[in-house]
Chains A and B, each alone.
Chain A
Amino acid sequence: MGRILATRLLRLGATLFAVTFLSFIMTSLLPGDPVNAILGVDAPRDQETVDRIRDELGLDKPLPVRYVNWLGSAVQGDLGESYINRGQTVWGDTIVQRLPVTAQLAFMAIIIAVILAVPIGVLGAYRQGRWEDQTTSAGVQVALSVPNFITGIFLIWLFAVKLKWLPASNWNRISDKGLIANLETAILPSTALALTQMAIFSRLVRSDMIATLQENFVLSAKAKGLSDRYVLFRHALRPSSLSLATIVGINFGALLGGTVVIETLFAIPGLGFRLINAINQRDILVIQGITVFVAVAYVLINTIVDLLYTVLDPRIRKG
Chain B
Amino acid sequence: MTVVGSDTERLTRADNAEPLLVVKDLKTHFKIDAGIVKAVDGVSFELERGKTLGIVGESGSGKTVLSRSVMRLNIASNVINTGSIRYDGVELIDKSSKQMQKLWGVEMAMVFQDPMTSLNPVVRVGRQLTEHLRYHLGVGKAESRANAIELLRSVKIPEPESRIDNYPHEMSGGMRQRVCIAIALACGPKMLFADEPTTALDVTVQHQILNLLATQQQDRFMTMIMVTHDLGVVAGRTDEIAVMYAGKVVEKAPTPSLFADMRHPYTQALLWSIPKVSQPKHTRLSAIAGRPPDLINPPSGCSFSPRCPYAQDKCREEEPPLVAASTPGHEFACWYPVGSPENQEAYDRNLAAGVAVTLAAEGRITATEELTSDIIAADLINDVIDISNDEVGN
Q: A-side interface residues toward B, CB under 8 Å?
A: 129, 215-217, 219-228, 230, 234-235, 238-239, 312-315
Q: Are A217 and B105 in contact (CB under 8 A)?
A: no
Q: Are B101 and A227 in contact (CB under 8 A)?
A: yes
Q: B102 to chain A: which residues have CB within 8 Å?
A: 225
Q: Within the assembled complex, what's the spacing in Å between the Cα atoms of A227 and B180?
A: 19
Q: A216 to chain B: which residues have CB within 8 Å?
A: 112, 114, 117-118
Give residues 33-89 of B contacting A (CB, 8 Å).
71, 73, 77
Q: A219-B112, A220-B112 are in contact. Are A225 and B106 (CB under 8 A)?
A: yes
Q: Are A235 and B120 in contact (CB under 8 A)?
A: yes
Q: Within the assembled complex, what's the spacing in Å between the Cα atoms of A227 and B106?
A: 13
A134 to chain B, nearest CB (A): 14
7 residue pairs, one from A and one from B, having the closest CB atoms: A225-B104, A225-B105, A224-B132, A216-B117, A224-B105, A217-B120, A220-B118
28 CB < 8 A contacts A-B: A129-B77, A216-B112, A216-B117, A217-B118, A217-B120, A219-B112, A219-B118, A220-B183, A222-B73, A223-B73, A223-B104, A223-B109, A223-B112, A224-B105, A224-B183, A225-B103, A227-B135, A230-B131, A230-B135, A235-B120, A239-B120, A239-B121, A239-B122, A312-B122, A313-B121, A314-B121, A315-B122, A315-B169
Q: A223-B105, A314-B167 are in contact. Are A217 and B117 (CB under 8 A)?
A: yes
Q: Are B122 and A215 in contact (CB under 8 A)?
A: no
Q: A220-B118, A225-B105, A226-B131 are in contact. Are A235 and B97 (CB under 8 A)?
A: no
Q: Are B135 and A225 in contact (CB under 8 A)?
A: yes
Which B-chain residue is minimally distant from A238 (CB atoms)?
B122
Q: A224 to chain B: which residues have CB within 8 Å?
A: 104-105, 109, 131-132, 135, 183
Q: Within the assembled complex, what's the spacing in Å between the Cα atoms of A312 and B167?
A: 13
Which B-chain residue is minimally distant from A212 (CB atoms)?
B120
Instruction: Check if B234 is an interface residue, CB within 8 A of chain A.
Output: no
Q: A230 to chain B: which residues have CB within 8 Å?
A: 131, 135
Q: A235 to chain B: which residues have CB within 8 Å?
A: 120, 123
Q: Are B101 and A221 in contact (CB under 8 A)?
A: no
Q: Are B180 and A220 in contact (CB under 8 A)?
A: yes
B113 to chain A, nearest CB (A): 8
Looking at A216, A225, A230, A313, the one whose CB has the most chain B CB atoms below 10 A away is A225
Q: A226 to chain B: which residues have CB within 8 Å?
A: 101, 105, 131-132, 135
Chain B facing A: main interface SS: loop
B196 to chain A, nearest CB (A): 13
Q: Within the assembled complex, what's the spacing in Å between the Cα atoms of A223 and B128?
A: 12
Q: Within the assembled complex, what's the spacing in Å between the Cα atoms of A226 and B102?
A: 9
Q: Which residue from A129, A221, A227, A315 sits with its C-beta under 8 Å from B121?
A: A315
Looking at A216, A312, A315, the one whose CB has the most chain B CB atoms below 10 A away is A216
Instruction: Check if B119 is an interface residue, CB within 8 A of chain A.
Output: yes
Q: Are A314 and B112 in contact (CB under 8 A)?
A: no
Q: Within the assembled complex, what's the spacing in Å between the Cα atoms of A313 and B120?
A: 11
Q: A223 to chain B: which residues have CB within 8 Å?
A: 71, 73, 104-105, 109-110, 112
Q: Are A219 and B73 in contact (CB under 8 A)?
A: yes
B337 to chain A, nearest CB (A): 38
Q: B101 to chain A: which residues have CB within 8 Å?
A: 225-227
Q: B110 to chain A: which residues have CB within 8 Å?
A: 220, 223
Q: Within the assembled complex, what's the spacing in Å between the Cα atoms of A234 and B134?
A: 14
Looking at B102, B121, B180, the one whose CB has the most chain A CB atoms below 10 A away is B121
Q: Within the assembled complex, what's the spacing in Å between the Cα atoms of A301 and B64?
A: 47
B176-217 interface bits toward A, Cβ cutoff 8 Å, 1 = contact, 0 = none: 000010010001000000000000000000000000000000
Which B-chain residue is minimally distant from A130 (CB atoms)?
B77
Instruction: Check if B136 is an interface residue, CB within 8 A of chain A.
Output: yes
Which B-chain residue is minimally distant from A239 (CB atoms)?
B122
Q: B114 to chain A: which residues have CB within 8 Å?
A: 216
Q: Within the assembled complex, what's the spacing in Å between the Cα atoms of A313 and B103?
A: 32
